[in-house]
Structure 1
Amino acid sequence: MHRSTLNVWLKSGVVCFLALLSSAAFAAEMLQPGDFVGYSFWLISMALAAATIFFLMESFRIGGKWGTSLTVSALVTFIAAFHYMYMRDVWVTTGTSPTDFRYIDWMLTVPLLMIEFYLILAAITKVSGGIFWRLLIGALVMLIPGYMGEAGYINVTLGFAIGMLGWFYILYEIFMGEASKVAASKATPAVQKSYGLMKWTVTIGWSIYPIGYFFGYLVGGTDEGTLNIVYNLADVLNKIAFGLFIWYAANEETSAKA
């Protein structure tokens, strides 16, 4: 990539970051003392914005086949940061859960996260497009019924059950399916380590969401504030840390060849 093109992209990233900061500053004026839910939205939106700049700059530095994976990581954190600005505004002005905005975020970022499994394997070996499509479809099966249940379009129990099937389908693919077999047989040690961290993030980190759904909508007893703090903290692991695992593999692979 020519240096002039790189500078244009970097300047564009800085402009986007400053735009997010200006939105954040406006929202900060509405935060009330002791609103820890609002604080969690604030902190995580800024962490996501910072992660976006980091992943974008590293995608330019590392480049090659890893550039796509790091760019997708930047897209994930950028989309999430932008939505967190709006979610925080909903919370601080109404005191209600920003369910619609959260699911819009997830509908965009979760499929991108699933595609990352395909991209990190494609960076080091030839892989079947079936891995891409199975993970993408699994993500949509998990998300769409979940949203319809939370938003009241279908029975909450039915939405929960179908969404869990989608999640289990994803877990099967990354633990025992074709993606897992490719990672075990053809991936380098650095990629295998990142793949392992990513799949356990999808297992443990993502379990927070169905647990929150179960206690928040099926059995009750969980207030909206607690539920949002848990979801917000989970997004740090499931978006920022997920991207850092990919960055680790990319950095190790390119450093070894230098």
Structure 2
Amino acid sequence: MIGNQALDINNVVGQHANLEITRHGSDWYYAICAAMGASTLIFMGLAFRKPQQDRIFHYITASITAVACVAYFAMGSNLGQVPIQAEFIRPGNRWVRSAGTREIFYARYIDWVITTPLLLLDLLLTAGVPTPTILAILLADEIMIVTGLLGALTRTRFKWGFWTFGMASLFFIVYQLLFSARRHASKLGGDAKKTYLLCGCFLMFIWFLYPVAWGLSEGGNVIHPDGEAVFYGVLDFLSKPIFGFLLIWGHRKMTSSSVGLRIRNRSEFASEKYNSSNSQQYAVHPEGPGANVGGHPAAATTGHATHTNV
């Protein structure tokens, strides 16, 4: 048989839902997987055009697409999923009327719990946001993703309670990006401010579409898993590779020190260590140049030794 055989091969792995992706959905997931992998190689290649201490944004962005590449490979293979009883059975909907159980890709949430904090870190470091504020925003992001997963795995209407917690976390994140982080970016000015405003507005717009996708798929069982694959795939492609290219382009003339980061490369560290050891070797002891630094009694080392003749 020629073509994508992942669904047939992995049909024996774990339990499967009544409503799951078809070969079209699998092909789409593999296509996004390839885009994520190619983006990772490009970001890493661009990193080598910058000095070592200025590659942090390239490494963070490449990590985002690398993790997403693995997650999309799992979803394209119909792995990393679990069947969950659908809350809403819609017999009149020809796309989802076969649903008793619907497959939920927990692999997607493992991806998000790693990559969404890295996306925020790209933005917040660009804006020069203080570390305590960064930690608070990243915690809110983790809450948003975990509550999304808990809601997706819940078969009753209580899933919408988890959705509400996630939305509250999202609004907190957006508030911090719009006011606190923007204020810090304005203080930096120049390319840092322009890059933050462009990438920040772009990401916030995309992120507000994720709750809609969740409500139509895991939440409301309105669209087929193939439609879910397309919806989430487009959003992830925009918020990871496209966002990454915009961010890296904005940083093309920037250095890590211009956004308040102090990152030493290996040569600087070796030089400081060498200078420190030399300064200790030639330091003058407080008791004078003839004193014993080791603390044991000894004769002075300067001049000739004096012998007493009996």
The equivalences for 1:33-48 within 5 A come to 35-48=23-36
On the 8 A contact 2:151/2:219 being kept in 1, the answer is no
Map 1:59-138 → 2, pairs under 5 A: 59-90=47-78, 97-122=103-128, 127-138=129-140
Separation in 1, partners of 2:236, 2:214: 15
Deviates more, 1:211-220 or 1:36-45: 211-220
Task: Give the corresponding residue for 2:179.
Answer: 176
Match of 1:147 among 139, 142, 149: 149
Q: CA deviation at 1:100?
A: 0.7
Q: Determine the C-alpha separation between the residues in 2 that align with 1:134 and 1:203.
A: 18
CA shift, 1:129, in A, is: 0.9
Q: Which residue of 1 aligns with 2:193?
A: 192
Cα deviation, residue 186, structure 1: 1.4
Q: CA deviation at 1:65?
A: 4.7
Question: Could you state the TM-score of these two structures normalised by the residue count of structure 2?
Answer: 0.65
Q: Secondary structure at the match of 1:141?
A: helix
Q: Structure 2 residue aligned with 1:52, among 20, 40, 48?
A: 40
CA distance in 2, matches of 1:80, 1:174: 24
C-alpha displacement at 1:70, in angstroms?
0.9
For residues 81 and 38 of structure 1, the distance between their equivalents in structure 2, rounded to whole angstroms, comes to 14
Q: Which amino acid aligns with 2:184?
A: V
Q: Could you tell me which runs of 5 or more consecutive residues in structure 1 were left unpaired when the two chains were aligned.
A: 1-26
Q: Deviations over 1:125-157 (max 9, x none)?
A: xx4112321221121121111111101288211
The unaligned stretches of length 5 or more in structure 2 are 9-21, 84-101, 259-310
* TM-score computed with the length of structure 1 as normaliser: 0.77
SS in structure 2 at match of 1:84: helix
Structure-2 separation of matches of 1:186 and 1:159: 37
Report percent identity of matched pairs: 22
Distance in 1 (CA, whole Å) between partners of 2:55 and 2:4 is: 34
Question: Which of these two proteins has the greater Rg computed from alpha carbons?
Answer: 2
Shift of 1:229: 1.0
* Cα distance change, pair 66–174 in 1 and its aligned pair in 2 (3 A): farther
Hey, which of these two has a bigger chunk of helix by percent? 1
Contact 1:53 1:74 in 2 (8 A): yes
